[in-house]
Chains A and B, each alone.
Chain A
Amino acid sequence: MRSTRLAGIGARLITAAMTAALALSVAAPGVSAQEDGGDLVVGVTSDADTLFPWKATQFQAFTMLGLIYDNLVELDQNLDIVPGLAESWQISDDGMTVTFTLREGVTFHDGTPMTSADVKASLDAILLEETGAVARAAISSISSVDAPDGSTVVLNLSTPDAGLLAGLVGPNVGIVPADATEEALSNAPNGTGPFAFGERAPNESLTLVANEDYWREGEPTLGSVEFRVIPDEASIVDGLRSGAVQLAELTDPIVALTAEGDGITIEKTPQLAYHVLMINHTREPLDDVNVRLAMQCAIDRQEVLDTAALGEGAVIGPITSPAYLSDPSARPCPERDVDRAKELLAEAGYEDGITIGGMYATGEYATAPNEAQSLQSQLADAGITLELEPLEIGAYVDRWLAADFDTTVALNGGRPDPDTMYGRYFPSTGNLNQVATYSSETMDDLFARGKASGDPDERKQIYADISRELEDNAVWIWMFSGNKYSALTDDVQGFVPMPSTSLQYLRTTTVE
C-alpha cells in the first residue's frame, strides 16, 4: 500500500517536472501550459470494477476508461461520428471494406508510438471469443483486419454494416498497444487518451493525470482528475456543497433536484437508456396481439413517468437516439383509452380479464418499484391483473437472461445507432432474440436493409418503419427515458455533459 502510494507520488512529481519543463521550453503562442486548468475532483458512488477496457460494463469503469483510451472514431455531444485516432475513412461502394487513415504522431502514455499494428491487434483480440470482450457482437461483421502500412487499417466485412462506425466507439473497443496483456493493462492502463493513469487506492480513489502528448492541441486543460469514491449520492452532494468535490453525475432525481442552488448547478441531459415493459411472446395470453394492444391502451405513460420519476424525463417510442427519434404519438392509443383496452381484450376472448406476472429488480435503479406499481394500478382498470414479483438484481438477471417472465419492468441501455441498439433483440439472429421472444420476416427484412444501407435518409425511413412495426404489434411497451444530472460547482467551466455515460469533455474542462 505504502509503496504504491509513494510510487504514485513519484509519478506525480515526474509529471509535474515534465509539465514545468514543457511550459519552459515551449514559448510559442497557442500551446498552453496544461496545468492551468487546475485539478478536478469527481464524486463517484463506486470504484471502477475493472481497469481492463474490453470487459468494462460498469458505468464508473466505462467513464474512467473512456478518458484513458481512444477509438478510431468518436461521438461528439450530438452523438455524430467524428474522427478519432483515424483522421479519415473511406467506405467502399459495395460497403464491404472500410479503410481508415490513422493520425500521425500519436503515442501511448508509455511513450511508444501508436500504429496500425496496434489497431489490428486490438480489433483481432476483441473479435477472439477467448478474450471475453463485451463489444465482440457489436463489431462481428468484421471478418478480418489488414494493416497494409503503418498508418492504414482496412476492415473487411462479411456484410455491409452501417452501424459499424458507432460500434467502434467507447472503451470496450479501445485501442491498446499490440503487445499489452490483460493482466498488464489491469494494473497499469496504457492508452492514447487525454488522461493517463496516475495512482489508485482501490475503492477509495483513482487519479488520472493530463496526457501532455495528447493529439488534440491544447487539451486536456485540467492538470489532473481524481475520481473519489463516496458511496452515497446524497453524501456526494454534501461533498459538492463543502467544495471538496467539484463535479458529479447523479442518477437519483430526488437527490439531484434537492442539490440545486447554493453554489451548485445541475444540468439535465436526456438519456438514451429507456424504461420499458418487456413482454414474453411465448407465454399465453401474451402471444395474442390484441392482448398486448389492450395493455398498450390501458397505460398512460406520462403517469408512470410522473409517479415513478417525478416527471423527470420524456415519454418515448422505441428509438431514443436523437437522429432516429421515434414519435411517441404515432402509436396505437397514444392517449390512454381504457374502453378500447377492454374492447381489445374482449376481441381476444378475455372478457373477464387476465392475470399476468410482472417481474422487476429491486435496488438496481430507484424508479423500478414505483413504475411497476403504477403499471399495476393502471392495468387493473382494464381488467388486467399484474402480479408483481420483486427480485434482487442477481436473481433478476438470471431470470431475464432465461426469458423466465411474463412481463418485466426494465431499464435497457440505449445506443446512438438503432442497429446496435435493437439489432441484438429483434432480428431472429440477434444475440438476445431469445429474450425478446419476438421476430417476424418483416422485422428481419427491415433490420437487414437498415444494416446494409449507406444512405442516411433511407436509414431514417427504415428505422421509422421498424419503430412503427414494434409499436403496432405492441412488441414491448416503451414508456419513458429519464435524465442524467451533472452537478457542477460554480468554479467548473467548459464541461459538456453527454447523453451517454461518457465524461469525454473533461478534456476541455477547467476549475479555478
Chain B
Amino acid sequence: MIRGKRVARTLAEATVTLVGVAVLVFVMMRVVPGDQITASLGIEAGNMTEAQIDALRAYYGIDQPLHEQFFGWISEVASGNLGVSQRTGQSVLEMTANSLPVTIELALFATLLGVLIGVPLGMISASRPNSRRDAGAQFVGLAALSVPSFLLGALLLTIVARVLRYNPNAMGYARPFEDLSLNLQQMLMPAIVLGFALAAPIMRTTRSAILEVRSQDFVRTAIGKGVSPMRIQIRHVLHNSLVPIVTMTGIQLGYLLGGAVVVEQIFSVPGIGRQFLIGMQQKEYAVVQSTVLIIALLFLLVNLATDLLYRVIDPRVRSG
C-alpha cells in the first residue's frame, strides 16, 4: 500500500516535471529571435518574396498559431511521434536511437574513469587530513575542476595528433558492433577529459564523507577490536560513505547523459549533445523540443535509479 502510493507519487512528480520542461523549452524556442527560415537562409531571406516566405513557413509548419503548434507537438509526442528533422529527413526517434547509445557509452566510460580516479584520490586525501598527501590530492582535484574541458580536450587531441600522428576521432565514428576496437579508441580521449572533470567533485565528496564516517563511534570500536586497517578502510569506512558518493556520481551521470556538447564537438562524437546543438543552430523546433524532453526523462530515470541504489547500499534508507 505504502509502496503503491510512493510509486504513484513518483510518477506524478515525473509527469509534472516533464510537462514543465515541455512548456519551458517550447516557449524559449519561440522567444529566441529567428526561426527555421532565417536560420537556414540567413540574410538571403530578405531576397525572397512574401509568397516565397509564406510557402516556406507552411513547409516548416510555423504558419500555425502557437497554441496549435504546442498541442500538436505534445499530442504527437504522447502518441510516440517525436517529430522529423527537415534537414536530414530522419525522425527524432531515429536520430536518438543513433545518438543516445553513443552518449550512454561515453557517459558510463567517463563515470567509470571519474570514480576510478576520484574515489582513491579522496581516500588518499582523507587518510591524513591537512598533510602534504592531502594537499597534493586536493591540488589534483582543484586542477581537474578548474581546467575547462575545451582546453584539456583540444590540448590532448593536438598533442596526440602531432606527436603520435594518431587521431582515431578523425576516422569517422565507428559503432561498437561495426568496429569495437576503433570505437573504444574513439571514446578513450573524450572519456578521459570528461572523467577527469568528474573526478574532482567525486574526490571531494569522498574525502568529506570518509572524514565524517571515520569520526563515528563504530569505527573506533572496530579499531579497538583490532580489525586490520585495510579492512576498516574498505569494509567499514568506505562502505558507510557510499551514499553521498553515489548521489554525487548519479547527479554527474545525469548531466553527462544530457550530452557533453563541447567534448562531443572537439572529438566529433555524434552524441545527443550534438543532436541538440545542431537542432538549435538550425532552429529545428521539433528536434530541440523532443531532444530536451528525452534528456529530462533520462535525468529523472537516473535520479530514480540512484534512489533505488541507496536501498541496496544502506539498509537504513529502506526502513526509513
Please name the residue on chain A nearest to B178 by beta carbon. A5
Q: Mark B42-53, 1 if CB is under 8 A from A, else 0.
A: 111111110110
Q: Mark A121-133, 1 if CB is under 8 A from B, else 0.
A: 0000000011111
List residues 17-67 of chain A with CB under 8 A from any CB of chain B.
41, 43, 46-47, 49-50, 55, 57-58
Q: Which of A233-241, A307-315, A465-473, A478-486 sits within the interface?
A: A233-241
Does B88 have its Cβ within 8 Å of any Cβ on chain A?
Answer: yes
Does A393 have its Cβ within 8 Å of any Cβ on chain B?
Answer: yes
Name the contact of A132 in the complex, choosing from B38, B55, B268 (C-beta under 8 A).
B55
Does A232 have its Cβ within 8 Å of any Cβ on chain B?
Answer: yes
Q: Is the CB of A43 within 8 A of B47?
A: no
* Residues of the A chain whose Cβ atoms lie less than 8 Å from the Cβ of B270: 203-204, 229
Does B63 have its Cβ within 8 Å of any Cβ on chain A?
Answer: no
Name the contact of B48 in the complex, choosing from A134, A238, A239, A395 (C-beta under 8 A).
A134
Q: Which of B126-134, B137-145, B154-162 sits within the interface?
A: B154-162
**Which of B98, B170, B264 neighbours the largest number of chain A CB atoms within 10 Å of its CB?**
B170
Q: Mark B9-51, 1 if CB is under 8 A from A, else 0.
A: 0000000000000000000000011100011111111111101
Name the contact of B283 in the complex, choosing from A130, A232, A394 (C-beta under 8 A).
A394
Does A398 have its Cβ within 8 Å of any Cβ on chain B?
Answer: yes
Does A14 have its Cβ within 8 Å of any Cβ on chain B?
Answer: no
Q: Is the CB of B167 within 8 A of A239?
A: yes
* Residues of the B chain whose Cβ atoms lie less than 8 Å from the Cβ of A50: 40, 86-87
Q: Is the CB of A242 within 8 A of B170?
A: yes
Does A228 have its Cβ within 8 Å of any Cβ on chain B?
Answer: yes
* Residues of the A chain whose Cβ atoms lie less than 8 Å from the Cβ of B161: 238-239, 241-242
Per the CB 8 Å criterion, the residue count for chain A at the interface is: 57
Does B90 have its Cβ within 8 Å of any Cβ on chain A?
Answer: yes
Majority DSSP secondary structure for residues of B touching A: helix
Name the contact of A57 in the complex, choosing from B41, B49, B266, B267 (C-beta under 8 A).
B41
Does B282 have its Cβ within 8 Å of any Cβ on chain A?
Answer: yes
Does B208 have its Cβ within 8 Å of any Cβ on chain A?
Answer: no
* Residues of the B chain whose Cβ atoms lie less than 8 Å from the Cβ of A432: 43, 46-47
* Residues of the B chain whose Cβ atoms lie less than 8 Å from the Cβ of A192: none
Please name the residue on chain B nearest to A1 by beta carbon. B98
In the bound assembly, the distance between CA atoms of A424 and B48 in angstroms comes to: 11
Does A301 have its Cβ within 8 Å of any Cβ on chain B?
Answer: no
Q: Is the CB of A244 within 8 A of B46?
A: no
* Residues of the B chain whose Cβ atoms lie less than 8 Å from the Cβ of A46: 278
Does B110 have its Cβ within 8 Å of any Cβ on chain A?
Answer: no
Q: Is the CB of A137 within 8 A of B172?
A: no
Does B247 have its Cβ within 8 Å of any Cβ on chain A?
Answer: no
Majority DSSP secondary structure for residues of A touching B: mixed
Does A319 have its Cβ within 8 Å of any Cβ on chain B?
Answer: no
* Residues of the B chain whose Cβ atoms lie less than 8 Å from the Cβ of A424: 47
Does A495 have its Cβ within 8 Å of any Cβ on chain B?
Answer: no
In the bound assembly, the distance between CA atoms of A401 and B51 in angstroms comes to: 16
Q: Is the CB of A136 within 8 A of B48?
A: yes
* Residues of the A chain whose Cβ atoms lie less than 8 Å from the Cβ of B47: 134, 137, 424, 431-432
Does B107 have its Cβ within 8 Å of any Cβ on chain A?
Answer: no
In the bound assembly, the distance between CA atoms of A229 and B42 in angstroms comes to: 22
List residues 159-189 of chain B with CB under 8 A from any CB of chain A.
161-162, 165-167, 169-173
* Residues of the B chain whose Cβ atoms lie less than 8 Å from the Cβ of A132: 48, 52, 55-56, 59
Does B97 have its Cβ within 8 Å of any Cβ on chain A?
Answer: yes
Q: Is the CB of A203 within 8 A of B274?
A: yes
Q: Mark A394-436, 1 if CB is under 8 A from B, else 0.
A: 1101111100000000101000000000001000000110010
Name the contact of A58 in the complex, choosing from B40, B48, B52, B167 (C-beta under 8 A).
B40
* Residues of the A chain whose Cβ atoms lie less than 8 Å from the Cβ of B45: 397, 401
Known contacts A203-B88, A228-B170, A235 near B165 by CB under 8 Å: no
In the bound assembly, the distance between CA atoms of A130 and B54 in angstroms comes to: 8
* Residues of the B chain whose Cβ atoms lie less than 8 Å from the Cβ of A262: 162
Q: Is the CB of A238 within 8 A of B158?
A: yes
Q: Is the CB of A398 within 8 A of B95?
A: no
* Residues of the B chain whose Cβ atoms lie less than 8 Å from the Cβ of A186: 89
Name the contact of A1 in the complex, choosing from B94, B162, B172 (C-beta under 8 A).
B94
Closest approach, in angstroms, between the C-beta of B84 and any C-beta of chain A? 11
Does A351 have its Cβ within 8 Å of any Cβ on chain B?
Answer: no
Q: Is the CB of A203 within 8 A of B278?
A: yes
Does A202 have its Cβ within 8 Å of any Cβ on chain B?
Answer: yes
Q: Is the CB of A130 within 8 A of B55?
A: yes
In the bound assembly, the distance between CA atoms of A271 and B154 in angstroms comes to: 28
Q: Is the CB of A401 within 8 A of B46?
A: yes
Q: Mark B198-224, 1 if CB is under 8 A from A, else 0.
A: 000000000000000000000000000
Closest approach, in angstroms, between the C-beta of B88 and any C-beta of chain A? 4
Does B265 have its Cβ within 8 Å of any Cβ on chain A?
Answer: yes
- 25 A–B pairs (Cβ distance < 8 Å), ordered by A: A46-B278, A47-B88, A47-B278, A129-B49, A130-B52, A136-B48, A202-B85, A204-B173, A231-B266, A238-B170, A239-B167, A242-B170, A244-B167, A245-B170, A392-B32, A393-B34, A393-B42, A394-B32, A394-B34, A394-B38, A395-B33, A397-B33, A397-B45, A398-B33, A400-B46
Interface residues of A (CB under 8 A from B): 1, 41, 43, 46-47, 49-50, 55, 57-58, 129-134, 136-137, 186-187, 201-205, 226, 228-232, 234-236, 238-239, 241-245, 262, 392-395, 397-401, 410, 412, 424, 431-432, 435
Return the 3 tightest CB-CB contacts between A and B, nearest first: A394-B34, A239-B170, A242-B167
Contacts A49-B40, A241-B165, A394-B39 aside, 10 further interface pairs with beta carbons under 8 A come to A131-B55, A134-B44, A232-B266, A234-B154, A235-B157, A235-B267, A235-B268, A241-B161, A395-B33, A432-B46
